[in-house]
């Protein structure tokens, strides 16, 4: 993580959110077990917990291009959760596409990747409590004067909207446009590159991630229009996982003692300085 002026206008869920921080290990590594759980919380007995992470979604997860180390809110949050529950997080890099199904199939114990809580997804995986709320916005080129909101795109059939496949952003786009006017990319960085190149005219994206791109491309991009959707994010688990109640207890304890607020201030605040150009996989590096 380096310099990124990410002024994340994240809506912290009043009752469920807030923060803590910790060092972020490299993907595939995990901190040593603390040996005991925080008093009053479940004790997982030093058990390993495999957590799928994309490493391409600032500020939640990324790979520092210089050090090669993984970092982001997801790592810090899970380090803290396992410190409280006496477990060992084992981070596994996984593509976004297929991640939810892989968790549903039991390939991973959990996934953390800014995953929006939806009824459809809750049919195949269990969610933690929501830990943050985000807004979906439109990202456009800085000289764009045709687009003021999604209605501008709806009313001009020459305009093409980009986003990432398999996301709630894509689902939101489908609420406004036919599929043939939407270009879905494997990862958001590809959609943003297409926007800068003029291959698409706007990208619908979570505002948190959009702010990250503004930090790296302030001279090229801007966010426009009102929020099109406000979504809660949560961690996912295989159906019936015994980790859900334990992780919820840890999140709620982090909320109660201010750790979650502390973490949010680090990764979603004005002092978080890491740009996509500073990171590797999926971040334009």
Taking only the tens place, the pLDDT of each residue in 88-117 is 999 999 999 899 999 999 999 999 998 999
Choose between 204 and 17: higher pLDDT.
Answer: 204
Q: What percentage of the chain's residues is helix, strand, coil (to nearest 5)?
A: 30, 25, 45
The burial class, CB within 10 Å (0-12 / 13-18 / 19+), for 28 is: exposed
pLDDT mean over 152-178: 94
Name the token pair of 276.
């996509």
Q: Is the pTM of this model over 0.85?
A: no
Name the token pair of 20.
């803590």
CA distances from 284 to 20, 64, 239, 248 (A): 28, 11, 35, 34
6 band by pLDDT with thresholds 50, 70 and 90: very low
Whether residue 206 has pLDDT greater than 90: no
- Spell out the alpha helix ranges (H) of 97-199: 99-104, 150-154, 168-174, 188-197
| CA–CA distance, 183 with 190 (Å, rounded to integer) | 11
Question: What's the pLDDT at 213?
Answer: 72
């Amino acid at each position: 993580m380096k310099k990124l002026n990410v002024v994340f206008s994240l809506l912290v869920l009043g009752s469920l959110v807030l923060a803590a921080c910790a060092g972020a290990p490299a993907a595939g590594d995990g901190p040593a077990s603390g040996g005991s759980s925080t008093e009053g919380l479940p004790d997982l007995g030093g058990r390993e917990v495999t957590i799928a992470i994309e490493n391409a979604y600032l500020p939640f997860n990324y790979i520092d291009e210089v050090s090669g180390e993984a970092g982001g809110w997801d790592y810090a949050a899970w380090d803290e959760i396992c410190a409280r529950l006496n477990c060992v997080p084992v981070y596994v890099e996984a593509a976004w596409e297929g991640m939810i199904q892989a968790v549903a199939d039991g390939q991973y114990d959990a996934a953390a990747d800014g995953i929006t809580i939806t009824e459809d997804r809750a049919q195949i995986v269990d969610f933690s409590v929501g830990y943050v709320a985000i807004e979906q916005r439109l990202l456009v080129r800085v000289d764009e004067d045709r687009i003021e909101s999604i209605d501008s795109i709806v009313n001009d059939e020459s305009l093409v909207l980009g986003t990432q496949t398999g996301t709630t952003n894509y689902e939101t786009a489908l609420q406004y446009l036919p599929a043939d006017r939407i270009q879905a990319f494997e990862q958001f960085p590809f959609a943003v590159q297409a926007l800068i190149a003029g291959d698409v005219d706007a990208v619908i994206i979570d505002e948190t991630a959009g702010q990250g791109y503004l930090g790296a491309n302030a001279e090229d991009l801007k966010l426009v229009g009102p929020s099109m959707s406000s979504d809660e994010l949560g961690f996912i688990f295989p159906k019936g996982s015994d980790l859900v109640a334990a992780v919820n207890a840890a999140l709620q304890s982090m909320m109660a003692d201010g750790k979650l607020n502390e973490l949010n201030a680090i990764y979603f605040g004005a002092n978080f300085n890491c740009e996509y150009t500073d990171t590797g996989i999926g971040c334009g590096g």
